[in-house]
Each structure stands twice: as structure tokens, then as C-alpha cells.
Structure 1
């Protein structure tokens, strides 16, 4: 294997919230023989990669931190990207995680050696083995580039919002933005302030409601720092308010009626032009796609030098964008706000389990994992933020902590029983998959729209169709009856 080869008890792929949180909890459980494999040169995951102007979280800061490491120094109610990244760096330093990270080590392949009970892992930084492999890659780490003819022919500046080119000359230029998702509604207002002419190409209109953001005052910080229980109370209140919205996603969409009123009130107060207002009106029920928060997106589109284009993009030429009606808009730069390949949970890694089974083959009828964490036929492989674990209503940090506790429970159980490997039983995994499909059909996510929650066949494979506290209860501890094991 070479001089740099090493064997670990646990290998973690990725150093975002999932990877950092898992490493901290494993160390606290007495597991110190671990490594984090990180393809980049810093921690942070999606909060390291997404540095576009205006990047911020749409979950309040009171919920956007680990429960064991609450932060009191946020500058705003909704935390901006640089502060979230610094928080993750802080956690990695404080809890001794950085010493376990191999930077510049992108995983290309992992094969399970049944006889040895080890994952044989190939990385760009060299090979290694580990008894347990934890994928903490997340769902929003691989940019999705649109399949538009001529995209490579464009001679101007072009980049994806998740790989923002801060050196690109955009001030006073003609700029096209393709896509109107969660990232675009944050950076479009920034571009509208800089560009000479801005064309925003919209495939379908999102629901954009007001964002109740504000800077934290000195009094806010004093209360959080010095009043016992204050921050915990604010966290509990925010969690409860957000959790109540879940009923609108998987029980009765009518529960979202107040949010629909908020959206309509904002649209009507900020957009006077009836034609533009019609173009910004979604043709699907609220919640089918991600609900977006912004106070300045609609006003940006009303500026005289900003154009919202709803005619489909037909092709890209060396100097512009052509829509289906034959109109060519000449531009100097194109920014793709086209989201992520959210259904490719472990791509482009090649994952091979028992009997040579590849994960892509196991998922040929859609990605699935028991509790979103384990896949039958892939022993000692655990997924964080895997299938069925995304949310439309609350903080993903809460879900990650539930998953991490479950994974740590599995590792500790293996240690206590002296097990070489454990593998979720196929009948258990299949029953869970069927239950998810049944429940998903009742949700708003399958009511007339196409979103990144769905795979190519239209199956919703990303989201959890229930309350987050129900998920926490389901993952409270691993059930030995769900696994087959080998000593």
C-alpha cells in the first residue's frame, strides 16, 4: 500500500457540519483512531464553497449551531456565510478535530473487504483502510450545470454560483443569471447593484416571502451570554414555530395559507407592474419547492436595468443567450444559479459493497437508505444527510445530530460485542423504503412541480416526510434486530 498507508477504526468523508459533528461525538465516545478525508484545503463543506455575494442561511442562527456548542456571537438573526464558516473552524479547533483531517484527500473509491472487515479507500492523497466508513458529503456539494446547447462556446466570463469567481469583472457589465433558486435570490440583488444590465432567466417562479432578519443588538448578546437558559429558550421557541410548519408539507397544505398570504402581500407591495407580477406567480402549491426568504429580491427585479426572462433558454452563443422565441441577449458574463446534483449522494465516488455490488446499482430504482443512514449490502457504511433526511421546514443541524447519535451508537455496539461488521437487513431496509414511498405520495412535494427533491424519475428521495422529533425518536438508538452481524 505504500509508506503513507494507515488503517483506522473510522474514516469520515467531508468536513462540513456532518463530518465535524461526527468526529466530535466519536471522540467524546472514546473513538480517537479516526480520520476525516477532505478534498479541499479547509473545513466547512457547502459553507466553504458558497461564497457568492449575499450568501447567508435561511434558518435562524438560534437553530444553526450544534446543541453542545451554542454560539452567542452571531451578528444577525439569520447568519451570513462567513460567520457560519468561522463557527465550523472554531468547533474543529476547540474539540481537537483538525488534527484528524487529511486535506487534499478526495475519495475516489471505497471497496468493502469482507474477509478483513475493512473498507479499502482510495484517495487523491493516497490509500488507507478503515473498519467504519461515514459519508458526510451532504446533498448540496456538487454544482448542477444545465444541459444547454452551446454552453461551452461562450467567450465571456461564466461560472456557477457555488464556485463564485470573485475576480470576474461584473461591475458595469451585461450579466445573465440562469436560475432563480435559493442562491440566486440572494445574489441577484447584489448583481443588480453592480451590473449595467442584468437578465434573470427564470424557468419557474419560486415563492419568496419576507425574511424577518435584523442585526443583533448589544442587549441581545448580553442576554444570550449572561442570562442562564435564555439562548436555550430562544432555540426552543424557534424550533417549535418552525416545526409546526411541517404539517403543511405532509398533512394539509392549507396550513400554509398564512405563508401564502405573506408571499402575496410582499409581491403586491413590492411589484407594481401586473405583467411582472404574473411572471413571478408560481403555478404550483406552496411547499412543493423550497420556500425562499428575501426582502430585496422582488425590488431588484423592478429596477429599470433588470429584466426577468421567462421564455425558455434554447442555446448559448459565444456572446449571448438565445431564448426559444429567437431573441438574443448579448452579455459579458453568465452566472449559473442552477443548484446542485442533490440526488447523487456519494457521487462521483465508486462505492463497492458485498459481492462486488456497486452502490449505483443498488440505487438503480432510486436512492434509499434505512433511516437515511444505512444501505443493505454495504456493511459499516453510514450516511449523514442521506436519502429522506432533508427538510423544508426546520434546521438540518437537528437532523444531523440525530443521525450522528445513531452512528455513534452503532460503533459503540460493535465495540462492545467485538463485531467485525454489521449490515442492515435487506427486508428492514426495503420495508422502510416502501414506507417512505407511501408517505411521500401524500406530501405537497409530489403535487405538480419538479424540484431538486426529486430524482430523474420524479421520485422524492431527499426529504423526510414527518416531524424532526419523530425522526429523532426513530434514531434514538440502533435496534440490533435490524442488523446482521459478523464477529
Structure 2
């Protein structure tokens, strides 16, 4: 029997008190703070984040050249269009300032406890609540909090790690990781090794190349460098440069003409959203490969030997595609060496490759990525003490990426199976928040103590994912974080469809796919005491149904 935390004499429309804990104050956490408080009455909310500032990945990643690799106007909230983006691909700091501005505008910082890191989450079946242990990062003190619903907004690329290379700790020079950057470090005149060819390395190399005496870029695998996203719009820009800065005339038009700004964004998103069809195996994927190869060949004309080393045998999209403006051009500069030989070890003064060559450097930058297993952030114990990390060791099973059987009242934003190959991520994050908001509202209205997806629903979703990805380039043999760093493992990080498809799925929860336990064990507790709040509280309008905003006026034939 579940503990009864409401009285049987409450009115049918009485808002049951709900406590929600959000983990993370990145984009998803900010959206949750706005939407939950807007739509859920009688809500207790706290947003914990381990960082001293909001912004998530855009606070943490401060390496040289950090920028969004999708167009600025695609990477923003639908309800907060920004006419002031300075360039086509926004810098990390510009994105951070945008989201900090949203936090201030909607006054949601008051719900946030920064410098507070979740160290454990455990579900208590007897209370139908989550018990969360939180470490104060400043004092080291561990506090304990409880909630009805736990919303994990920790993202996929958050838990960075050093590469597993022998001798890494013995290096006597400057050792940096792209996700834990030392902003005091100056590469001016230094010899630098950059390990990696993912999006971080692709941005770092051109950013520091003009300052360094030498760069050695160690690249283990091949990667596609795409032409700029929404190339039609890029070609319309009169300005030049790797990030395609907007002209003063364009900015003035955006600022003075909201309709023009909206039209521009819709054109951009239409072009970006239309790219999904290239991620299915077949002629379009082959054409994308041909176009990308032509683009890369042109930019590597000065050093054509690099093309054979970096050009993949798999189709674009098997690994994450990045436009990488300026990267290939930087590789052709005289002070840059592209090294595809495997790293054997690191010594106190440099890197040794498998052929025995030692290349001495002043600094090593590890742009080597994150733990994408979704199972090692902090221990999560579900119903009956279920160790979610252990269960997810081989495959992070979910229902629609949002929740999983065995962990009631727990939801994820941008968790397993939620990434998108192309399209708009921010609208997906918004709709994910809307979905979870709808679930919380149902729990409140229907007096639901616990809600979790049925095991059969999770199993069905996994089967759907397995079948879907067989048709796509994602399941081709290539090492990718989409497959937890394996070449041929199951695709666990991506949504099985387009971002528009994801948005449509999230529009309306299929509550028939969930199991419930009701407060007090009574599945009719939602019906209340036979009265409404208006009949018990004189301040509530008893005839609100007559207010014009609550009336659905039909059209007469003369109005058609």
C-alpha cells in the first residue's frame, strides 16, 4: 500500500502538492524551470547543478574556437528569437550569454542551486519518492532532498574523460582536455599536440594554429567534414570568414523586422530539417558522400596526401557530421602535421607513435570525448533497489528515450536514444520538457503516486530502434559515440527517426503505455469529494465556464 499523502475530502480540481528535482541547469534544465513553474500549480521545484553557473555544456566548454556547429538561428528557443546573433555559427560564449539572458528574463535563477552535485538518487517504494544525496561543491557537505519526480537533464556529452594512453600522466608539459579548459594557458609560440578529430578538435586546431609554432594533429579514425549546414543561406551572405559573420545590414533587418527574422529562421530550419533523408542507406547517402568528398578534396589541394588518410570508407552520418569551418584549411598550413599513425605511448616530453617516432611538444590537448554509456554519472537505484547503472551497462533501455521500467517517476532529457543526426535539437528539448510537464500534470490531477513505462513498452521501443537503424548509415561499421565508442555495437544515443518525427511523437503522451500506482491504492481517488474548488473557496469563480475565453464559439454559415 502506498502512503496516502492527500485527504479523501479534497475537491476534484484541488492541485495535489508536487515536488520536482531537476538535475542540471543546462538548456533542458532552464526550459524545465520555465515551463514547470508556468504550468504546474502548487509546485515545489529545485534545479541542482554541479557548476557555479548555468548553461551546462556551454559553460563547461571554453576551449579556443568553441562554437555551435549548427546555424545560430536554429539553436535557440522557439519562444525567444534572438535578432542579435553576430555570426552564422555562434561562439560558445555568445550561446551562454543568450541562455543566461533567458534565465534572468523569466526569473528562474531562484529555483537553482548551483555548485551542488548529485551523488546518489534512490527511490523509496514505501513513500513513492526519490531520495537524493547532493554534495555542496564548495563545502563538501552532503545534504539530502526528496521529491515526487526526478528529471535528469544531464545530457549525453557531459562526463568527460582522459584517453587511455600509456604514460599520459608522465607528461611534464601542459596537459589539457577540451572539456576542462585552462583559460589562462596561452599557445603563443608553442609546439602543441592535438589528439582527436571530433567536433572539439576540429574547432581547436584552426583557432590556435596561427598562434603556435607547430601543431601535430593525431587522428585515429576517418571523419567527414561537411560543407556548411544550410548552404543555400550561407551563399547569400556577403561577409566572409570561417563563421560567416552577419553584416550590419542583416542585423538591422533582423532587429527591426520580426517577420523577416522569422522568415529567415524558417528557411534555415527547413533546409536543416530536410537533410534527414540523406541518412538512409541508398542513393542519397551516396550522393552526400560524393558531395562531401568534392568539398574536402578542394580544401586539401595543398596537401592532397591528407585526403587519403582522413576520407572515410563509410557514409556521412555514421559518425557525427560537423561542418568544421577552417579545419581542413588549417591542416594545409606549413606548421601543421596530420598524423594518422597510432599513438604508442606518451613520454615526459612528447608522443611516441607505433613506428617509434618521438615528437616532442610543449603541450598536449586531449579532444578525446566523453563517457557516453549513460551509466556512470552517479548511482541511481530504482524500485526495489534496482541498480540502473548496472542494468544499463550493456544497453540503456528506455521508453521513447524518456523513462525506463523499474525507475518510477524518473524522466530524462537528452538521455539514451534521444540524439539527432540532423535537425533542430532545441525544439526536441522543448517538446521533451512539454511531455514531462504533461506527465507531472496527470500525476497531480489523477492522484498518481508512481508512474513508469511498462516493460513491454520498453522492449517494443528497443526492437523498433534495432529495426530502424538497420536502414540507416548509423549502423555501418565505424567507431562512434552513437554506439558507445564501438564500431558495430547497437546505436544507443540516437532517436530512431528525424527530429520532426521525434517532435510529433512527443506531442501527446500515450498514457496507456505506462503502469500506475495511485495514492492510497485507490484508482478513483482522482474523483475527489464530489465538489469543486469553486464551491469550497469563494474567491474562485463558480461560473468560469461562461467566460469568453472558456467558450468554443461555433461558426455560423454566414461567417464561413
TM category, shorter? over 0.9
The structure with the largest alpha-carbon Rg is: 2
CA distance in 2, matches of 1:170, 1:109: 39
- In the alignment, which residue of structure 1 is the partner of 2:108? 97
Task: Please give the residue correspondences for 1:34-183 in structure 2 after superposition, counting only pairs within 5 Å.
Answer: 34-125=45-136, 126-183=143-200
* Separation (CA, whole Å) in 2 of partners of 1:252 and 1:236: 28
> In the TM superposition, what whole-angstrom CA distance separates every residue of 1:399-425 from its partner, at most 9, and x where no partner exists?
111211110000001111011111111
Aligned partner of 1:389 in structure 2 is 418
Contact 1:15–1:45 (Cα < 8 Å) also in 2: yes
Question: Is the CA contact (8 Å cut-off) linking 2:422 and 2:499 kept in structure 1?
Answer: no
The answer (yes or no) to whether the contact 2:289–2:315 under 8 Å persists in 1 is no
Answer yes or no: is 1:210 the counterpart of 2:227.
yes
Out of 359-368 and 88-97, give the one that drifted further. Answer: 359-368
Matches of 1:74 and 1:471, distance apart in 2: 27
Partner of 1:295: 325
Taking the aligned partners of 2:467 and 2:367, their CA distance within structure 1 comes to 32
Which of 273, 280, 286 aligns to 1:250? It is 280
CA contact (8 A) 1:210 1:263 kept: no
TM-score (norm 2): 0.83
Unaligned runs of 5+ in 2: 1-16, 137-142, 229-233, 235-242, 519-560
Q: Provide the rounded CA distance (Å) in 2 between the counterparts of 1:404 and 1:365.
A: 27
Aligned position for 2:203: 186
Distance 1:434 1:73, change over 3 A: same
C-alpha separation in 1, matches of 2:79 and 2:290: 35
Give 1:255 shift. Answer: 4.1
Which residue of structure 1 aligns with residue 6 of structure 2?
none
In structure 2, distance between residues paired with 1:67 and 1:169: 38
Give 5+ residue unaligned stretches, structure 1.
Answer: 1-6
Contact 2:18–2:444 (8 Å) recurs in 1: no
Cα distance in 1, alignment partners of residues 310 and 458 from structure 2:
41
After superposition, the Cα gap between the structure-2 partners of 1:79 and 1:302, relative to the gap in structure 1 and judged at 3 Å, is: same
Moved more, 306-315 or 247-256: 247-256
* Structure-1 residue corresponding to 2:257: 227
- Per the TM alignment, residue 262 of structure 1 is displaced from its structure 2 partner at its CA by 4.2
CA distance in 2, matches of 1:190, 1:467: 32
- Among 318, 340, 348, the alignment partner of 1:318 is 348
Residue matched to 2:549:
none
Counterpart residue number, 2:464:
435
Distance 1:47 1:219, change over 3 A: same
Aligned length: 480
- The one of 483, 499, 510 equivalent to 1:468 is 499
Distance in 2, matches of 1:29 and 1:347, equals 33
| Stretch moving more, 212-221 or 109-118 | 212-221
CA-atom RMSD, angstroms? 1.7
Partner of 1:3: none
**What is the CA deviation profile of residues 19-39 of structure 1, one whole-angstrom value per residue up to 9, with x for unaligned ones?**
101111111103541000010
For residues 392 and 221 of structure 1, what CA distance do their matches in structure 2 show?
A: 29
Distance 1:433 1:97 in 2: 36
Normalised by the length of structure 1, the TM-score is: 0.95
Q: Is the 8 A contact 1:247 1:253 kept in 2?
A: no
Q: Following TM superposition, by how much is the alpha carbon of 1:481 offset from its aligned partner in structure 2, in angstroms?
A: 0.8
Q: Identify which range, 162-171 or 422-431, moves more after superposition.
A: 162-171
